[in-house]
Structure 1
Amino acid sequence: MFKDNSLCSQEDYKKEITFDKLAKGKTDVIFLNGRHDKFDPKKKDGQDAHYILRECKNGGFKFGNYIGRFTFEGQEYIINSRFGKELEADLLKTVDSAFFSSSGSVAGSSGDIPMDYVFYASFISRLKLAKLSGFPSVYKKILFRDYALHGSLDVKNFIKKDQPFTGKISSRKSSRVPDEVVARVLLRAYDILVRKNTKFALYDKEIKNFLLANANGEMKSIRDIDAALNSKSVMNELYKDYKIALQIARIIILQDSRYTNESAVKNLNFGYLLYAPNLFELYVERLIRSVLGEFGGKFSLETQYKIPGSNLRPDFAIKDEKGEILAVLDAKYRHFCNANLGETDCKNLLQIKRYAKKAGSNTGILIYAKSNVFNGLGIIRHSSENKIFILSVLKNDNKTSADKFKKYLKKILETIKEKKIM
């Protein structure tokens, strides 16, 4: 099992697992967020630049923009954040808060969220959506002894006019019934995750009863999983949420200790990945809202703001009470190294400057996961020129410094506010 998070410095690697490999039907790895199957991997020198994991010659590993857990070619991989466990824990807590209230959080006693719990929460959420469409059904043959005649016959008219029989009488040989194998697979996955944390049962208390009413029994073997996934009942677009729920259920069941040793499971490729930049964006949004709350409603936040008259769309825009743009912000799940700027970081600087200009603001803020840029409070001052600030949420030792980030952002907004008054 690969759990190392050391960085690689070598130019060549013994092994590389890329997004492209996992997305080309070679595995059943599910991408829980991000652009899913619509995502086109970036190509660099003819190669997929979106790697999941790279193994160095010295045995270290470098992780890409994904976190998750999957089995690939007989080996299990646990992919953690390349920025360390502290930031990863904060990213997972952000997802947890999106699913559960503080009282219903699935966090452990330490406050940490196991990575698998995010996966389980997405399963429950998908089931809740699927339930709104009713339950998928299939045609089931009716036994001969249960045949019933259907139709009509005008006996009075038939006898009186001595007419030949023209009535329509037929018997049904099949009828539509709930797809029991689909319900059984979903029920087995649901029972597994509730066994691991009973708080999952609180998210929607009616899910289990709904599945029980349609299952009429238990899942017999892992072959039922493929039978459910290939069932015609879930091919209908109306039931697409059931299809996704079944794909997630497959992984929950196969990762359960009762099934992992089965020979049929050992040769399968399965698992899940989370696109960390999207989680980072949610985390940054929560920090920004926390700062804006200290201004008593004088500032508002817009996400994925589309600048009027253009196709530009920064991650965030902060507006004043009049609706004017005070600052545009972009979140970057990257390490900004001031002494060695890469091509991507140069593009990010030009991009945020362009955002600010088009939005009619003097302030652009890039929020990196990690940065070596010094942002002393003394350098945040009035200026008629465009200003670009680079903030980060991690220290050099990968310890989170959210409070420091919020302090700097608050100072920037106070400075903008004072400038508007002057």
Structure 2
Amino acid sequence: MEIIDASVNQNFHFEKPESVSSTKLKNLAEKSALSLGRITAERDVAVVSFRQDFLLNSNVESEDDRLVLAIEKRRKNDVDEFYVKTGLYAGRISYGDVLFNIKPDCSNALYEQMLNYANHIYIDKTEDNGERKDHSDFPLIEYLFLSSLQRASVMGLPQEYSKQRYHDIKVHGGLDIQNYIKKDFPFMGRISSQKNERHYVQCVVDVLFTALKACRGEIEKNFKRLNLIKNELNASYSGKFPSQQTILKAQTHRVLNNPMFADFKQTLKFAEIVIRHNAILPDAKDSAIASGYLLDVASLWEVYLEHLLQTRLDGWSVSAQEKINLYQDCFFKRENRPDFVLRKDDGSCIAVLDAKFKRMDGVYKKYSDVDREDLFQIHSYAGYYRERGVKDIRCGLIYPLSQKVLEKNQASLYGLTEEYRVHDGSKAKFMVDGIYKGMDDCSVLDSKYSVADAEDAFIERLKFFLNS
């Protein structure tokens, strides 16, 4: 099978034609594009989203229409050129006779940090013993599964109580009256008893161990602490590959309602994708339009920024996906949801920010990195809060940056100079900023600039913008 590497949000303006053989791409170009609604109808494509309400904003296209992958043909100088267009989904997807490996448009270091935040893993990026880990060849879904399992298993594997019956020379727990009457008259030296004992949930053990076996090489290299969990699972493993029914039973087991084991809900979802991705699920279909797994990078970027803002902005409260009702009593009413609404603790200022996982070079060019719709949307949010009487309003768009610092990235709202502004005592500012993403496929941003450095620099610039 031919493999083509692509990046998220690629060829939006048809910048990069493919150099590979065009035979298979030509066949795919004749097919319709893969949208989210089309591929999720097939159970062989798993889509991971970190925010269930991510698509509630009525200003974006419906969930079913969101682009995942398309092959488009353009003729240039009497030669057919083929372009692989992608949406905001990373992962691996098999389409026709081609395997598309879609990576996020950022360094592996930043990507790993985003995944860790999404899994609620907050770690010091300084590696032990000076050894740097590299996940550049590590399948995304395996990383999500292993990191999620490592976090969820801190309190141990899911266990439940069940009644165990004994017929022995000593009493275990309490007397089993029913069997005592049936079996122990006349007394022959043994007595019936019963005891409630804790044991691992078999369906959960089978699913987790099967998924662990599929990525065992990465356990030894990057998740050594999971070796103990692997040994515990191995000791209780039934020896049977889990069917789809077994996986569903594990994912809906009552033991997961226990807050101690609630984190295993997400872990078991990742485990199912790992099992499917490694083609070891016995009831998988061969007739699917496409197969593989995808991760909603836009929601991942948003969740990452949400955690960063909530933990690093002292004196501000951060609300995500706050509902805004426009023209509520009219037939053209709309419901909007800005990504983040920041409120100063003393109530003197409100800031509205939108997260955009798109390319940002910070230079003026033919095709601007700031989409027209994104620009109008964030300004409409600012106008809404100004109409509600907010005297000090800030708004901005947050991107993964191609350079460490953007020049000329802030201005008064709409860029109006003093002579054109209404002098009513109010203030309003707009900015475009973000976090330096580093070089693609690099395990660090650069030798002297870490992800933590990029985060610190962004937070400092944001604080200055909010308080100036």
Q: Normalising by the residue count of structure 1, what TM-score does the alignment of the two structures yield?
A: 0.64
Deviation at 1:42, TM superposition (A): 8.2
User: Partner residue of 2:246?
Assistant: 228
User: Partner residue of 2:190?
Assistant: none
SS where residue 55 of structure 1 aligns? strand
**Where in structure 1 are there 5+ consecutive unaligned residues?**
140-147, 157-175
Deviation at 1:17, TM superposition (A): 1.4
Cα 1:301–1:251 shift into 2, 3 Å: same
Cα 1:415–1:255 shift into 2, 3 Å: closer
| Mapped partners of 2:114, 2:321: distance in 1 | 21
1:190 equivalent to 2:212? Answer yes
Whether the 8 Å contact between 1:104 and 1:202 is mirrored in structure 2 is: no
Whether the 8 Å contact between 1:301 and 1:319 is mirrored in structure 2 is: yes
1:252 equivalent to 2:268? Answer no
User: Partner residue of 1:387?
Assistant: 429
Deviation at 1:51, TM superposition (A): 1.3
Q: Which amino acid aligns with 1:150?
A: N
Cα 1:376–1:28 shift into 2, 3 Å: closer
Residue identity (%):
17
1:40-93, Cα deviation, whole Å (9 max, x unpaired): 898999994311111122332111111112345665332223xx243x651332
SS where residue 59 of structure 1 aligns? strand
Matches within 5 A, 1:313-332: 314-320=338-344, 322=346, 324-332=348-356
| Mapped partners of 1:185, 1:272: distance in 2 | 18
Deviation at 1:9, TM superposition (A): 4.6
Cα 1:185–1:26 shift into 2, 3 Å: closer
RMSD between aligned residues: 5.6
User: Partner residue of 1:93?
Assistant: 113
| Mapped partners of 2:219, 2:270: distance in 1 | 17
User: Partner residue of 1:346?
Assistant: 376
Deviation at 1:346, TM superposition (A): 1.8
Deviation at 1:24, TM superposition (A): 1.9
| Mapped partners of 1:307, 1:39: distance in 2 | 12
Whether the 8 Å contact between 2:88 and 2:296 is mirrored in structure 1 is: yes
Cα 1:33–1:338 shift into 2, 3 Å: same
Cα 1:194–1:250 shift into 2, 3 Å: same
1:281 equivalent to 2:311? Answer no
1:127-158, Cα deviation, whole Å (9 max, x unpaired): 5399675259899xxxxxxxx972648x99xx
SS where residue 427 of structure 2 aligns? coil
SS where residue 102 of structure 1 aligns? coil
SS where residue 380 of structure 2 aligns? helix
Deviation at 1:108, TM superposition (A): 5.3
Whether the 8 Å contact between 1:187 and 1:208 is mirrored in structure 2 is: yes
Deviation at 1:276, TM superposition (A): 1.1
SS where residue 54 of structure 1 aligns? strand
**Where in structure 2 are there 5+ consecutive unaligned residues?**
15-27, 74-80, 165-176, 186-197, 327-334, 361-366, 419-424
Matches within 5 A, 1:153-232: 180=202, 182-198=204-220, 199-202=222-225, 207-208=229-230, 210-215=232-237, 217-219=238-240, 222=241, 224-226=242-244, 228-229=246-247, 231=249
1:321-377, Cα deviation, whole Å (9 max, x unpaired): 635435332222345865985345422321243246545532222224469997527
| Mapped partners of 1:325, 1:74: distance in 2 | 55
| Mapped partners of 1:183, 1:236: distance in 2 | 12
1:257-295, Cα deviation, whole Å (9 max, x unpaired): xx67x9978767653322111222244456657975xxx
Cα 1:287–1:343 shift into 2, 3 Å: same
| Mapped partners of 2:321, 2:49: distance in 1 | 24
Cα 1:20–1:376 shift into 2, 3 Å: same
Whether the 8 Å contact between 1:328 and 1:364 is mirrored in structure 2 is: yes
Q: Normalising by the residue count of structure 2, what TM-score does the alignment of the two structures yield?
A: 0.59
User: Partner residue of 2:41?
Assistant: 24
Whether the 8 Å contact between 1:93 and 1:112 is mirrored in structure 2 is: no
Identify which of 168, 175, 179 aligns with 1:150.
179
Q: Which amino acid aligns with 1:119?
A: L
Identify which of 71, 83, 89 aligns with 1:66.
89
| Mapped partners of 1:152, 1:405: distance in 2 | 71
Q: Which amino acid aligns with 1:21?
A: R
| Mapped partners of 2:291, 2:29: distance in 1 | 24
SS where residue 159 of structure 2 aligns? coil
Cα 1:386–1:276 shift into 2, 3 Å: same
Whether the 8 Å contact between 1:229 and 1:243 is mirrored in structure 2 is: no
Cα 1:237–1:60 shift into 2, 3 Å: farther
Whether the 8 Å contact between 1:4 and 1:61 is mirrored in structure 2 is: yes
Whether the 8 Å contact between 1:96 and 1:105 is mirrored in structure 2 is: no
Whether the 8 Å contact between 2:410 and 2:430 is mirrored in structure 1 is: no
| Mapped partners of 1:43, 1:411: distance in 2 | 29
Cα 1:151–1:374 shift into 2, 3 Å: closer
Whether the 8 Å contact between 1:19 and 1:41 is mirrored in structure 2 is: no
Whether the 8 Å contact between 1:53 and 1:62 is mirrored in structure 2 is: yes
| Mapped partners of 1:385, 1:393: distance in 2 | 26
SS where residue 390 of structure 1 aligns? strand
User: Partner residue of 2:191?
Assistant: none
Identify which of 5, 11, 17 aligns with 1:7.
11
SS where residue 68 of structure 1 aligns? strand
SS where residue 101 of structure 1 aligns? coil
Whether the 8 Å contact between 2:243 and 2:283 is mirrored in structure 1 is: no
1:81-139, Cα deviation, whole Å (9 max, x unpaired): 3xx243x6513322235425237979954585843454223651685399675259899
| Mapped partners of 1:105, 1:30: distance in 2 | 31
